Structure 1
């Protein structure tokens, strides 16, 4: 038909459609049915409303007689088109169409079971029935739910349930269930619905409720292997039917209808409390069968199940109270689903249930939930010892869900000491630690970005739990603690946890972890603001902080027997007390957890500044712990505390609290025997301070020197470590000013390149003769000496700048190192050499203070080279390198006279030992000493501007290492050393190289005036190292020319 039919009025529409209807009645073919359906689709709603009886009459007549499936499907489709555009207010017409549509899919000879007609016909019938119910007005619907029509309605429900259960076409199953939902007063015309209509529908479907529930249960369970969408629709329709029949609102408004019941002899269900209770008990059986299937369902099925649960828990809470625990367990499990949408929807349902419990004060439901809560707690020991990770996660999620429902009732539930102790015991079981692993001791630094660390506790606890490795379980545990902190009695919980910490060491770590997470909930949730203020006002935070840093909890041994730290008595005591591995791991974990708890307390308090006097020095002590994990967590805690107090960095925190840091440190330094931790405090103080705290370090350094003066030499190591830390950071804050000289300047000190060797000899002879002929009188000598004296006086009259405090401290430190160099303790010797090496660098600009100390240090330092401890010799040589950089001319002659011969002797003697050695030799201290000498002798010679005699001594010892049989690293270092020596005296180096590698039986002379020697004109080409050195010497000559 044309588009103009859309705008036709009723008379015009009748004029156009009537011929088509007549033709269809005469010739009942599929083609005519299709033409008629298309024409009906073009009609307007108003025209269709006026003509609906005329249009439906021929279609119903054909439907009564026709058996051809294709024609029946088209006819039913035409009926559906008309019904979608009209409203039916005639009960007889409604009944006629309703019954006729049912007859199409019913087998009369088979007790009105579903006929064997095609799926297309069944689908069209379901859609037509749905449209018929939707277009029926309330008066007609009341007739539908009346007792007179009950048999027809019963047959319709039976047919639709059979279609939903038996058919395999998904569209047909869904259409049948949606049609069933429409029959249950779930129509699109909400404006026509009334309380009376819902009451009639509930009364009618109460008789069908068992059959509907059983059939839909089968659909849900059977659809697991076929269609998830079918299960979702089944949950939706089932929930609506439950709401119609058992909704609290409908049951409350129900009035007795005995008069209507006496009109029929049919069995009629009376919806009363007894019926509701009986139905709920039977429904529980079906629910128990259905809910386990949700674990493997798709997300949209879980969402539909949540809507179904929402109906049961909120709209039928009183009538189906017996189902609440079972349904709640399902919602609780889904509240922690991996899908964010499902978890959010589940938590929304739980929140509504919790709010309803508060409003209605449902004691019976609360009692049931509490009973199930205790039953759930009883499952934890078995599941966490023998269950899988998924079972453990689901169980913790279930516990979390129960607490989310209880909310404000948590405080009341935990008022029972038995329940409180049981819940804490479960939390301790969940977080039980496995301290028998090596990973805590082997933990190494991966990143120093502790400022960005959010939760250091989870990092130190990772992979340490005994009963699980899935960290999702730990996250659920933190949510449980958050709920306890938000809704529980915080003071009661703190007292219970503190008692657990004090009772024994078995659950101490778990109790600290639970306590920290409970307190953290007060910092994250706005509802915890009142509780945190209450804790602060009561002084509980300060009291708890003092308890955390008490000696019994805080001072734990973190290393095993042995080690060099501490006094001689302490080392001997540790050697007698071997700490087991599990005990060390336990101490490491406890230290990390305590530090994290301190960080939480700092964020909880609005004014934590006054409490820094309690915890700042203990935190600094942990920041220098020998265990990296503890040190890293301590640094993170320091940063969080600094941020909580309004500081931008740890150094600023230290700078603004220097008063009581200094008081604490100075007091402990005066009593070192009872405060062994003071050394680590000072080292951490130096590490995390900046230049602004130099004054504090100076005061601490002088106090350390005083303590060092009163201790035995063998007990000096801890104080030397403190001084070493102070010296290193003073060296960083006050670097030496750059000095002229070194590798580049040493080249300019050589003879002018324009003179040949012959010219040099002639000039030397002339100067020597001239100096022998000159004679000075006493007056001339006095006059010549008068000028420098006057110059000196002028210089002395200039006022010297004041010596900085850190230079004075370094001078005192170096003076203490003089006699300590002779100690027999290798650790003390190493520490002293390290101090000297770093302390002289900042003093390079203060020669008047530096040189006298260097003079005193020199003889003990030289004595280091007389022993065969190559490790100490290497450290001593590093000190010589630092002195060469700072003192230069002052130690040049001393070095050439006292150090150079000993170094050359070692290199000569060790040359034969290192020949043909493999990789194993490279780990020996002798090799390391050789390597240090070969790498540093060249730069030191350039800094000291060593002349020919000293260069000859060194070059003769270094050149043998050019042999290809030496280890490769020594060869490379020897080449580099020779090149640096050549910059001081190229001729001397050349002579040493040719004497070692260019000898020959045939004499050779570079010129007629010179006596021939048994040398080759060119070096041996087999040694690439020699060729490389000779090429460098040639290039150096070309640069000078």
Structure 2
């Protein structure tokens, strides 16, 4: 609280310290004065303002070097006084202004900044701000009189230097704030009276001299180092726009009379010659120079990483368009570009404000030179379309984002008038060239992409799930692809759908280089034409009818599923792919022999990885297109299912994971849009036409693999309800399996394997039961059992096929057949009898992979028909297994850790893991059990890999369940930790071979097994 309320009381308290400070300028004296000032009321201090300021000003004006601490304390005290009082005398205001500015200037070079501390610089700027805010009434306008131009220019120059060269962010911001106050655009409007037109004119005339230097320096700050912080850029942008709007305002320049362009009269003061005399020629020249700076500023700020900078750019454009659209006619296009590109900003608040500003400009109707806004936008879009291919090729990702945002903004704003641009063949060509160029895919290794797996969700999850990530040659930023998709959609929404689809389908057919990109564009164009996700856009002149849209989609669909674009080589891993390639080429040879005298060059049997990956992506994009077409037509797409569903299912059965996943997503979209509750329902309700198509294609050798894939996909993605519907076509496949050679059997076997997996799933869930009558006839078999019987009968002969791939697939099919027929022993046993001889060969004389699979089949057979196999296993298999395990035991005992990754190890492990349960299922005799125990004994050694030891222990655990006494005796002869005393002296002592042995490599495992046996007993 103030202690001194009257000037007289305050004077008495302040006089001693003021006199002391005038005599001795020290930090202590200044601080004592400021402490005394805090005890004086504002009204009393106002009366004593000049008296108090005198010793402080005297300190600043004293010649010679001064300590920075003293100067800083004086400046801070001046700031305190000015903050509490008003400066009512213009002379005092100007003197203080000059004295504070001199604190920043170098004594040796007044036009340059002095090498001061950051704290002192900041204090001086704050004092200048306090002075400007303390100006009472019209006092501040004295600064804008022509005679005071040098003082103002000096201050502006110093502040610009501070804003640009200082590293401290707070000094930069303070200097920029002070500059805004100079142009009477301070945020704190309560300190200033509202400016009238004359004040603005006076200020604008004076600042015209400073505008070139200010605009250049500020533009350098805006486009400069990103490390300076977004607040500095925002402040610089605000000063830049407000200074230009003050000097270049249309209203101000329009009021200049013609005589103002003449030279100043001789009687005018010399200082007034420094003031720029604004006229039409000056305005044009200045506007031309400013247009260069505005272009740089807009280009930098529109792509700034911080959203608040982009938001401030919107306000900058709004201010300049509102005040200077006539004087800055050459910059209107750049300013509109900034707004148009920000219409699609990632921040919703920037989008909303950009749209609001554009609407306000549209309401004005005419902008620069009275041209309609739509005309300017059309011309700019023409210009951008011309430059687009070059820009897409030369810009970095951020530049591409800016350019594409601009293009999208133009398209949205022009709305229905987009067709005018598209009707120009040259501009459509340039636009399409740019889109096709930037969308070129990087067909990298598909195996890397296939690491993703599908979630087991519903239809919504499948349609929303990202099947794969596309990689592009010319960009990596994830924001670019959605922008390109939006551009294509808006083109389809407003443009002529027939013109666009025809043009891009011509590119599709023109070259394989354009095919994938053209298909991506067509997919999005169709989505846009259907109005998918087009909310918030202007209404189009005419909505495309369903029949017209269906006609366009039908033509594109026919092109997509044409054999030349659908049946592409995507892998050489499967034999049928190579056979298919050879078959296609042989057809070409036949045609060539009739038309040309020279034969075609020999077939390259190894298509490149790049070409196959390119084919995979092309098929995926076309599948995505079919899903998009279904979404566009909704339930009306049902009419196109006859031509779409069969090829989609074919790709759902494709061995390439990327293709099958994409096809699955397409089926999910078809279900959702066409009103099917699930994919099985979709397949079952259209099974008649699908089965008919499969039967037709099975008649042609070239189409057999594709037909089998369709059937496999039907079985894989449907349910048990489809079985009666596909019964006939399954018989057709089995007939083909009888007739074909082993090299063509692979695709058919894949279908049979899928069928058996489906039947096996239907048998744990209890949907099938064995017949009660053990003497049932074949005609009484359930459908699932009859199918399994037929498949087994047709596959047995292929167990001896030359192809390892075929043998492996047959073994997989047989294993499932045995599981399905387990409840029908009278059917299973004859089939097992037929399959036994070739199965024995697979077990005893084949590739280790085949042996491994065959042993799995043997275990499954043993679990389902043990009595039938007991003698056969003992005679045909057990001796071979004993020899094989005995020969391999020394190898595994001395092998290193890498051995566990070998096929030999996996075979040993599988046999040991299955042998115990097999012995139990076959109920082997004591003699055979003893053989098994001897076979497995070497694997109880601690030298063996741990997993083999565990598997061998599992065999003995099964043997314990079958004959615990014999197993105990066998193990005790290997290691026996106890001595057994006879219960009566007349009995002979118990003597086991294991009693006398020391601990060895078998001890731990045998001890563990004996402990288990004792606990069980």
TM-score, normalised to structure 2, is: 0.76
8 Å Cα contact 2:698/2:704 also seen in 1? yes
Shift of 1:954: 4.3
Specify the SS of the correspondent of 2:454. coil
Q: What is aligned with 1:766?
A: none
Distance 1:28 1:978, change over 3 A: closer
- The equivalent position to 1:524 in structure 2, one of 530, 533, 541, is 533
Shift of 1:239: 1.9
Per-residue CA deviation, residues 521-552 of structure 1 (Å, 9 max, x unaligned), is: 65332257977962644112333233222222
8 Å Cα contact 2:626/2:666 also seen in 1? yes
8 Å Cα contact 1:558/1:587 also seen in 2? yes
8 Å Cα contact 2:132/2:181 also seen in 1? yes
Q: What is aligned with 2:137?
A: 136
Matched, 1:605 2:633: yes
**CA distance in 2: counterparts of 1:113 and 1:83, whole angstroms:** 29
Q: What is aligned with 1:449?
A: 455
Specify the SS of the correspondent of 1:523. coil
8 Å Cα contact 2:576/2:744 also seen in 1? no
Q: How does 1:173-212 map to 2 (within 5 A)?
A: 178=177, 181-182=180-181, 184-186=183-185, 197-198=196-197, 200-202=199-201, 204-212=203-211
**CA distance in 2: counterparts of 1:28 and 1:990, whole angstroms:** 114
Matched, 1:426 2:434: yes
**CA distance in 1: counterparts of 2:1013 and 2:112, whole angstroms:** 110
8 Å Cα contact 2:646/2:690 also seen in 1? yes
Distance 1:848 1:129, change over 3 A: same
Q: What is aligned with 1:400?
A: 405
Q: How does 1:680-759 map to 2 (within 5 A)?
A: 680-711=709-740, 715-735=744-764
8 Å Cα contact 1:130/1:182 also seen in 2? yes
Q: What is aligned with 1:1016?
A: 993
Matched, 1:914 2:926: no
**CA distance in 2: counterparts of 1:296 and 1:712, whole angstroms:** 66
Matched, 1:380 2:391: yes
Distance 1:992 1:166, change over 3 A: closer
**CA distance in 1: counterparts of 2:920 and 2:608, whole angstroms:** 54
Matched, 1:534 2:557: no
8 Å Cα contact 1:17/1:39 also seen in 2? no
Shift of 1:901: 1.9
Q: What is aligned with 1:501?
A: 508
- The equivalent position to 1:663 in structure 2, one of 683, 692, 695, is 692
Per-residue CA deviation, residues 630-669 of structure 1 (Å, 9 max, x unaligned), is: 2222223333333334455433433444343333334334
- The equivalent position to 2:155 in structure 1, one of 160, 167, 188, is 160
Q: What is aligned with 2:611?
A: 583
Q: What is aligned with 1:627?
A: 656
8 Å Cα contact 2:75/2:123 also seen in 1? yes
Distance 1:471 1:951, change over 3 A: same
Per-residue CA deviation, residues 174-227 of structure 1 (Å, 9 max, x unaligned), is: 6676565445454766999889x2255235523531323414533664796897
**CA distance in 2: counterparts of 1:318 and 1:974, whole angstroms:** 94
- For these two proteins, the number of residue pairs brought into alignment is 931
Q: What is aligned with 1:743?
A: none
8 Å Cα contact 1:904/1:957 also seen in 2? no
**CA distance in 1: counterparts of 2:697 and 2:130, whole angstroms:** 93
Specify the SS of the correspondent of 1:507. helix
**CA distance in 2: counterparts of 1:514 and 1:487, whole angstroms:** 15
- The equivalent position to 2:423 in structure 1, one of 394, 409, 415, is 415
Per-residue CA deviation, residues 886-939 of structure 1 (Å, 9 max, x unaligned), is: 2333x1xxx233332222321343355324315487777666555444332321
Specify the SS of the correspondent of 2:513. coil
Q: What is aligned with 1:461?
A: 470
Per-residue CA deviation, residues 6-61 of structure 1 (Å, 9 max, x unaligned), is: xxxxxxx7xx3355469879996568986996577555xxxx9xx98x77787899
**CA distance in 1: counterparts of 2:283 and 2:738, whole angstroms:** 92
Q: What is aligned with 1:90?
A: none
8 Å Cα contact 1:862/1:899 also seen in 2? no
Per-residue CA deviation, residues 774-825 of structure 1 (Å, 9 max, x unaligned), is: xxxxxxxxxxxxxxxxxxxx98999999642212222222222344445444
| Aligned CA-pair RMSD | 5.3
Per-residue CA deviation, residues 112-143 of structure 1 (Å, 9 max, x unaligned), is: 9999999799657633552355x527xx89x8
Distance 1:177 1:408, change over 3 A: closer
Per-residue CA deviation, residues 502-523 of structure 1 (Å, 9 max, x unaligned), is: 1111111122233334455653
**CA distance in 2: counterparts of 1:494 and 1:965, whole angstroms:** 71
- The equivalent position to 1:81 in structure 2, one of 80, 84, 88, is 84
Distance 1:72 1:375, change over 3 A: same
- The equivalent position to 2:621 in structure 1, one of 552, 577, 593, is 593
- The answer to which of 598-607 and 861-870 deviates more is 861-870
8 Å Cα contact 2:342/2:351 also seen in 1? yes
Q: What is aligned with 2:65?
A: none
**CA distance in 2: counterparts of 1:568 and 1:601, whole angstroms:** 30
8 Å Cα contact 2:943/2:1001 also seen in 1? no
- The answer to which of 588-597 and 410-419 deviates more is 410-419
**CA distance in 1: counterparts of 2:122 and 2:795, whole angstroms:** 103
- The answer to which of 407-416 and 257-266 deviates more is 257-266
Per-residue CA deviation, residues 819-845 of structure 1 (Å, 9 max, x unaligned), is: 444544444433333222111222223
Specify the SS of the correspondent of 1:844. coil
Shift of 1:253: 7.1
- The equivalent position to 1:151 in structure 2, one of 146, 152, 175, is 146
**CA distance in 2: counterparts of 1:922 and 1:184, whole angstroms:** 81
**CA distance in 2: counterparts of 1:72 and 1:817, whole angstroms:** 101
Distance 1:721 1:331, change over 3 A: same
Matched, 1:943 2:921: yes
Shift of 1:976: 2.9
Q: What is aligned with 1:555?
A: 567
- The equivalent position to 2:786 in structure 1, one of 795, 808, 813, is 808
Q: What is aligned with 1:760?
A: none
**CA distance in 1: counterparts of 2:282 and 2:152, whole angstroms:** 21
Per-residue CA deviation, residues 399-423 of structure 1 (Å, 9 max, x unaligned), is: 4224414534344333322222222
Q: What is aligned with 1:885?
A: 863
- The answer to which of 512-521 and 100-109 deviates more is 100-109
Specify the SS of the correspondent of 2:473. coil
Per-residue CA deviation, residues 961-984 of structure 1 (Å, 9 max, x unaligned), is: 656777765555444324423433
Q: What is aligned with 1:352?
A: 357
Q: What is aligned with 2:246?
A: 244
- The equivalent position to 1:369 in structure 2, one of 353, 356, 380, is 380
- The answer to which of 599-608 and 579-588 deviates more is 599-608
Q: What is aligned with 2:369?
A: none
Shift of 1:500: 0.9
Matched, 1:616 2:645: yes
Distance 1:811 1:175, change over 3 A: closer
- The equivalent position to 1:829 in structure 2, one of 807, 810, 814, is 807
Specify the SS of the correspondent of 1:534. coil
Distance 1:947 1:245, change over 3 A: same
8 Å Cα contact 1:40/1:78 also seen in 2? no
8 Å Cα contact 2:467/2:661 also seen in 1? no
Shift of 1:851: 3.8
Q: What is aligned with 1:280?
A: 287
Q: What is aligned with 2:817?
A: 839
8 Å Cα contact 1:836/1:879 also seen in 2? yes
**CA distance in 1: counterparts of 2:863 and 2:537, whole angstroms:** 62
Specify the SS of the correspondent of 1:432. coil
Q: What is aligned with 1:744?
A: none
**CA distance in 2: counterparts of 1:416 and 1:206, whole angstroms:** 47
8 Å Cα contact 1:247/1:319 also seen in 2? yes
Per-residue CA deviation, residues 302-334 of structure 1 (Å, 9 max, x unaligned), is: 665554344334432222121345556777888
Distance 1:20 1:529, change over 3 A: closer
